[in-house]
Structure 1
């Protein structure tokens, strides 16, 4: 019997930063995730590049047009067979508002990141994105 290799399902997320703050989205569905926070995004569809999927997902979830920047180094296991990839994202047009799967959005500074209950699987990705994209809040020496 030969072993069959199955590539993981890629879930893409955007680290949307504006004025030194990171956008967090609170899940409203499914029930087991409701009330917890994540970086917005979703699953890549067959035939889509990861970047195309992220632009589509952010349009659907937030009602905005975005420009995808560099990928944040790392790959985080969400559950068996699913991995999270994160990109730096810049807002091109629109104002983020919950469209589907979320009921609240918050812009968080680096010092405020722990003020929301992130999904466990998103925590390391948020930390990595914040370290690279958000300004340090300590005074310059």
Structure 2
């Protein structure tokens, strides 16, 4: 079975601190959907598992080290994106090394799930927010 080339797989992390807050990052203004708040993560490259892609993305974007076994699948969302379809896989993570720093993003903030819906976010993130609010 061949996976369609029209599907874009993206992974994201709900990095959760001991107060139940989740780290969000703000997309740079020059980027597509600039200024919107999102879960850190990114595209799954050819040959990568989703977990390895997320480990790589978290190091690149936030400067933190996460072990693949500490990523717990939480939920997913599917959203049309131009000619393709975005499939966004969300993992929860409560353990990492280092202090998250906005390397790629314009800003980062810790936010309680019930406050996330008030932030401007990409459309695919809102179903993930609703799921996190129900937990």
Superposition TM-score tier, normalisation by shorter sequence: 0.7 to 0.9
Q: Which runs of no fewer than 5 residues in structure 2 stay unpaired?
A: none
**Structure 1 position 26, deviation (Å):** 0.4
1:18-53: per-residue Cα shift (whole Å, max 9, x none)? 021011110005444111100110001111110000
**Structure 1 position 89, deviation (Å):** 1.4
CA distance change for structure 1 residues 75 and 113 in 2, over 3 Å: closer, same or farther? closer
User: Does structure 2 conserve the Cα–Cα contact (< 8 Å) formed by 1:76 and 1:125?
Assistant: no
RMSD value over aligned CA atoms? 2.0
1:77-127: per-residue Cα shift (whole Å, max 9, x none)? 251332111111123211111111x11001011342234212222111122
Q: Tell me the TM-score normalised to structure 2 length.
A: 0.83
Structure with bigger strand share is 1
Aligned residue pairs: how many?
A: 128
Point out the structure with max Rg over C-alpha: 1
Cα distance in 2, alignment partners of residues 95 and 115 from structure 1 = 26
Query: Which range moved further: 21-30 or 48-57?
Result: 21-30
